[in-house]
Amino acid sequence: MTYAPACGQNQPFAADGTAAHQLGTTTMAFDTIIAGGEVITADGRKKADVGIKDGKVTAVKKGLAGGNGAAVIDAKGKYVIPGVLDVHVHLELPFCGTTSSDDFNTGTRAAARGGVTTVIDFAIPYGEDSLEDAYKKWRAKADPKTCIDYCFHMAITKWDRHGPEMEKMVEMGCPTFKEFMIYESEGWQSDDRAIFNALEKCKQLGGMLLMHAESSRVLDELIARNHTPEKMKKYGAQLHGMTRPNYIEAEAIQRAVKWAEVTGGRLYIVHMSTAEGADIIRDAQARGVDVYAETCAQYLVLDDALFKGEDGHLYACCPQIKKKSDQQRLWKGLKRGEVCVVSTDTCSFTREQKAMWNGDWTKIPMGLPGLETLLPIVYTHGVLAERMSLRQMVEKLCTNPAKLMGLYPQKGTIAKGSDADITIIDPKKKLKVDPATMETNTDWSPYAGWKLAGFAEKTLSRGRVIVDDYKFCGENGWGKWLPRKKAGKL
């Protein structure tokens, strides 16, 4: 018997997620078999079937037989890849005087449609909040709504208050921390003392420090020099790029790398956007510094000419999109390895929210939607454009993020014992990006009108089909909190 489970049908699950065979008396070897596809992992590619039981992968080999009611998904001619991990998202984030428009529901529906099966958000303490307060607030926002598995990095915004809590947070399942070198006005900024101390502590605890690296004092000076009515009239949103030359990121990365080098603490540079940054990371890794770098899809395919357009302000994110030469260097870094993860920094705002800028670039809510288009962009502009192999794509989107964030091999691969988080893509089928038909809660997309291959034809989360025929069919609250023990290494 061969059939593909359709949206809301043939799902071997009861409403509470219990597998059907646990409810009835029939014993099945598998709940679901993904048959006849090409399975791609970071180790290579092979034609194989994938057998799934109780939400776990239990076999990866040719010729798995169905029977006893196992659902069979026909994957002939398709790529079967591990579900993508987007380890850098901001859902429902109070930021820039508003709140990002994708919440844990719309954001994770969009994620599923883009083949993403795990997200890691950032729990950020506000006011006098402790890390534990932030953790509880973020759990309260996420738990009822999230459609795929998830966890948080803990943002340290006041070293003296939050540093002593780091050990407890690791015990509570959060071994990755974040510091921001900018955002003084949001109350999030960390100075060198906080960075040095947090890296030392990460070393003791088996944790990792994620760093938003931009050099704040010089950045503030450049903003102040340009913040005049004449300049704003003349340059509009271009000032966003003009006030953040590449050295703003490069100097900050250099400094953070130095503190990692002398403390031995593991450092992960988030959303690296510059060629200079990639050079610094490569040199540091060659010296043996325990440092990793991610970039985001937008830095690989968009460039700062966009700020000149009428809608230029929509593209403001932080750090801002740079030049084509930076894109080329980041692609090269991905191929060679000094850039090891692609994420999105999803922080969506609607046109109405972006309009808050009213001609002043310092008031633009900064961020872009991205979860729904991450895999299609990396597949289309990376693999199909021959900038990386399929195997490398899986490494950067699935395996490396799972390893570094302490989720491997539960996530990030297709192997016996791993969660059955699986994305099936048709190698050739292209869809046109159209905000009107997307799950993401924005009325625009940086990629509107682009034709992209690599959208999820099907997405499975712990064995359950949550996207079928490119449409979301999961449910709110299906996503599980993922406690972790330690950060990992590559």
Out of ligand DUC, Zn ion, none, what residue 455 binds, judged by CB under 5 to 8 A for its kind, is: none
- Report the phi/psi class of residue 67: left, alpha or beta, with left for phi > 0 and alpha for psi in -120 to 50: left
Give the tokens for residue 471. 């449409």
Out of ligand DUC, Zn ion, none, what residue 435 binds, judged by CB under 5 to 8 A for its kind, is: none
Show the DSSP H helices in 367-474 as ranges.
374-377, 390-394, 400-404
Q: Which residues contact 307 (CB under 8 A, 6 or more apart)?
A: 236, 237, 238, 240, 241, 313, 315, 316, 320
d(C-alpha 54, C-alpha 190), whole Å: 44
* Minimum distance, C-beta of residue 355 to ligand DUC, in the bound complex (Å): 17
Judged by CB under 5 A, how many residues of this single chain contact Zn ion?
A: 2
Residue 90 sits in the site that holds ligand DUC (CB under 6 A):
yes
Q: Which residue has the tokens 């603490």?
A: 265
Residue 212 sits in the site that holds Zn ion (CB under 5 A):
yes
* Minimum distance, C-beta of residue 236 to ligand DUC, in the bound complex (Å): 18
Please state whether the peptide bond connecting residue 125 to the residue before it is cis, i.e. omega within 30 degrees of 0: no
Which residues, 305 to 324, sit near ligand DUC by CB under 6 A?
Answer: 317-318
DSSP state of 250: H
Tell me the CA distances in angstroms from 319 to 313, 332, 366, one per residue in order: 14, 20, 9
d(C-alpha 442, C-alpha 350), whole Å: 5
Residue 367 sits in the site that holds ligand DUC (CB under 6 A):
yes
Out of Zn ion, ligand DUC, none, what residue 135 binds, judged by CB under 5 to 8 A for its kind, is: none
* Minimum distance, C-beta of residue 245 to ligand DUC, in the bound complex (Å): 18
* Minimum distance, C-beta of residue 325 to ligand DUC, in the bound complex (Å): 21
SS3 content of the chain, % helix, strand, coil (to 5): 35, 20, 45
Residue 345 sits in the site that holds ligand DUC (CB under 6 A):
yes
CB 37 within 8 A of CB 80: yes
Residue 153 sits in the site that holds ligand DUC (CB under 6 A):
no
Interacting residue with ligand DUC among 156, 170, 366, 438 (CB under 6 A): 366
Out of Zn ion, ligand DUC, none, what residue 290 binds, judged by CB under 5 to 8 A for its kind, is: none
* Minimum distance, C-beta of residue 212 to ligand DUC, in the bound complex (Å): 5
Which residues, 332 to 351, sit near Zn ion by CB under 5 A?
Answer: 345
Out of Zn ion, ligand DUC, none, what residue 317 binds, judged by CB under 5 to 8 A for its kind, is: ligand DUC
* Minimum distance, C-beta of residue 271 to ligand DUC, in the bound complex (Å): 7
Say if residue 332 is exposed, middle or buried (CB neighbours under 10 Å; 0-12, 13-18, 19+).
middle
- Interface residues with Zn ion (CB under 5 A) are 212, 345
- Interface residues with ligand DUC (CB under 6 A) are 90, 95, 212, 317-318, 345, 347, 366-367
